[in-house]
Amino acid sequence: MASQLEVIYLKDFALSPGGRDVAGGPNSGEQFLKEVLEPAFLRHRHEEGYILVNLDDAAPVISSFLYASFGELAVKYGVDEVEKKVHVLSTQVPMRVTMVQNQYDKVRKRS
Amino acid sequence: MNSRLRYQRARARAEEQARARRKAWIRSGRRISRALYPGETLNLSPYQITLLPRSSLIDSPDLLIDQLRLFRKQIEMRRNVLLNMRDVRDIGSDAIAVILACLKSAVSRISVYGRWPSSQIAIAKLVNSGFPQQVSTRVNFPISENAMLLFAVDRRVLTQKAREIALFALRHSRPECCDDLILDAIAGTIGEFMQNTYDHAVLDSFGQEPPLADDRMEWVVHAEFVPETRVTHISFVDLGVGLLGSIILRNKVLATQLAIGMKNDSAIVGKIMRGEIKVPSRTGDPRRGVGLPLIHKHYESKHIGRLIVISNRAFVDFERAGQPRDLRIPFPGTFMYFEVRPTDGQPA
């Protein structure tokens, strides 16, 4: 039984998250999606709980990383479902939350 | 027969075979440069490139790019180079970064010799920039604590290195500041350019062969702290296809439209950076292509200072208002420069 709230700290994955894909370098968004985000999402997909991803204490978080992780998750499982289950927090750099939201918005516009 | 004699005979045989292959290649009428093997150079005296008394990519881009073009031409011809800096009196951090990028790209292909400046001021600037640590010198110069040079060999996105540069800049220029916004802006700016460089490399495999594809070095980040002003100058150099070169490969139709609608390359790059032109990616995904406008946002938020982008014929200095002008000689790749100042951004 999955817990109600699962908090994922990006800094536990990497202090310096990388670029878009695995071929492009270490700690990429694609790797984060496969190893951390997607498994967590699938654990909570049919449960009542949700995921909170804390983006603080990791730098830099570049746009390609968010594209390949949160954006691709939204493309794969549907933006509404992902938006409902996956929440993002960054008190240090609030713009990161906006960037993730922009990814969701663009996926929604495209679909 | 002892092993030394066997080795000498085997080596003589291999050299003879190499000479025969080379002669056959030259007789075949194909380009002579293709007949050479890595590390092998034409048996000619070094080609001399004389740097100007005031060398700066920002203040006099055309003159320095012209010399840079000559330098790269010699690399292609596998001819050794003598970099004569005797007359240099003033040299900028940006120029040093580009020269170091060229030197790194020439390693294992040609030999580069050099002459130090006669001016003590110029030598002091070179020492502060960490230049002597990157080349072989007869004189032991002091190791600079105020400079950092990082480079990648395969265009990879190494954000850990971007973070190291950002921490270096903050430690020197803003030691009292521990603002995560500024750390993210500095490292993010470098990281976005790394990703951009990597994307161009991927793109080139779909288009034409990138220039100097067998270079060892693909991008260079150079950071230099100037104690007098407490400013850290950060330069990112990618000697690849450049922003507009990449767009042309990516979408020739769009490039034509842009060329019709706008008078110069600098205006196009300026608009791309400001997010006023949406550049379609290779995949056509509208979610991509937000990295460069994000860099401009960091600049607008004053988290980084004096942003300058040079790519192909474009020269965009975001601090200087007015009509942007194109370069007379295109820069072979992309150069990005920004500063970390003690007073930029939010109060510490």
**Which class for A60: exposed (0-12), middle (13-18), buried (19 or more C-beta within 10 A)?**
buried
**E-assigned strand segments in chain A:** 5-9, 50-54, 86-89
Q: How confident is the model at residue A23 (pLDDT cuts 50, 70, 90)?
A: confident
Q: What is the pLDDT of residue A15?
A: 94
Determine phi and psi for B195, rounding to 5 degrees: -65, -40
Reading the block at residue A77, the tokens are 């499982």
Reading the block at residue B228, the tokens are 């007098």
End-to-end CA distance of chain A: 33
* Chain B: residue whose CA lies nearest to A108: B287
pLDDT single digits (tens) B132-185: 888 877 777 888 889 988 877 666 889 999 999 999 999 999 887 768 889 999
**Are residues A60 and B180, on separate chains, in Cβ contact within 8 Å?**
no
Q: What is the pLDDT of residue B149?
A: 87
Are B175 and B227 spatial neighbours (Cβ–Cβ below 8 Å)? no
pLDDT single digits (tens) B194-239: 998 887 765 544 444 444 444 445 788 999 999 999 999 999 998 8
Domain residue spans of chain A: 5-110
Determine phi and psi for A96, rounding to 5 degrees: -65, -40
pLDDT single digits (tens) B91-142: 999 999 999 888 887 777 788 888 889 999 999 999 999 998 888 777 778 8
Mutate which: B164, B170, B181, B287, vs A, most A CBs within 10 A: B287
Sort out which chain B residues have CB atoms less than 8 A from A62's CB and list them.
Answer: 157, 159, 188, 191-192, 195, 291, 294
**Are residues B190 and A60, on separate chains, in Cβ contact within 8 Å?**
yes
Sort out which chain B residues have CB atoms less than 8 A from A106's CB and list them.
Answer: 286-287
**Are residues B159 and A62, on separate chains, in Cβ contact within 8 Å?**
yes
One-character DSSP codes across B177-214: ---HHHHHHHHHHHHHHHHHHHHHHHHHTTSSPPTTTT
Between B184, B286, B297, which is nearest A59 by CB? B184
Q: How confident is the model at residue B39 (pLDDT cuts 50, 70, 90)?
A: very low
Are B185 and B301 spatial neighbours (Cβ–Cβ below 8 Å)? yes
Between A26, A62, A110, which is nearest B191 by CB? A62
Q: What is the pLDDT of residue B213?
A: 43
pLDDT over 90 at B190, yes or no? yes
pLDDT over 50 at B303, yes or no? yes
CA distances from A66 to A79, B170, B199 (A): 14, 25, 16
Are B171 and B182 spatial neighbours (Cβ–Cβ below 8 Å)? no
User: Can you tell me the mean pLDDT for A77-105?
Assistant: 93
**Of the candidates B302, B291, B281, which has an alpha carbon nearest to the alpha carbon of residue B236?**
B291
* Chain B: residue whose CA lies nearest to A100: B287
Reading the block at residue A81, the tokens are 């479902």
Q: What is the pLDDT of residue B215?
A: 44
The CATH number of B145-348 is 3.30.565.10
**Are residues A27 and B159, on separate chains, in Cβ contact within 8 Å?**
yes
Are B290 and A102 spatial neighbours (Cβ–Cβ below 8 Å)? yes
Query: Cα(B334)–Cα(B327) distance, rounded to whole angstroms?
Result: 13
Lowest mean pLDDT across B41-45, B136-140, B141-145, B332-336 = B41-45
The separation between CA B56 and the C-alpha centre of its own chain, rounded to angstroms, equals 14
Query: Cα(B277)–Cα(B136) distance, rounded to whole angstroms?
Result: 45
Domain residue spans of chain B: 38-141, 145-348
CB interface of B with A, residues 285-324, below 8 Å: 286-288, 290-291, 294, 297
Determine phi and psi for A51, rounding to 5 degrees: -110, 140
Mutate which: B170, B183, B186, B195, vs A, most A CBs within 10 A: B195
Sort out which chain A residues have CB atoms less than 8 A from B290's CB and list them.
Answer: 63, 99, 102
Q: Containing H/E element for B250?
A: helix B243-250
Q: What is the pLDDT of residue B258?
A: 65
Sequence-separated (6 or more) residues with CB below 8 Å from residue B199: B246, B281, B282
Query: Cα(B339)–Cα(B347) distance, rounded to whole angstroms?
Result: 17
* Chain A: residue whose CA lies nearest to B162: A60
Query: Cα(B296)–Cα(B302) distance, rounded to whole angstroms?
Result: 10
pLDDT single digits (tens) B316-331: 999 886 667 789 998 8
The ipTM, to two decimals, is: 0.92
Q: What's the CATH superfamily of B38-141?
A: STAS domain (3.30.750.24)
Are B157 and B165 spatial neighbours (Cβ–Cβ below 8 Å)? no
Q: Which residues of B226-265 are buried (b: 16+ CB within 10 A; e: fewer)?
A: beeeebbbbbbbbbbbbbbbbbbbbbeeebeebeeeeebb
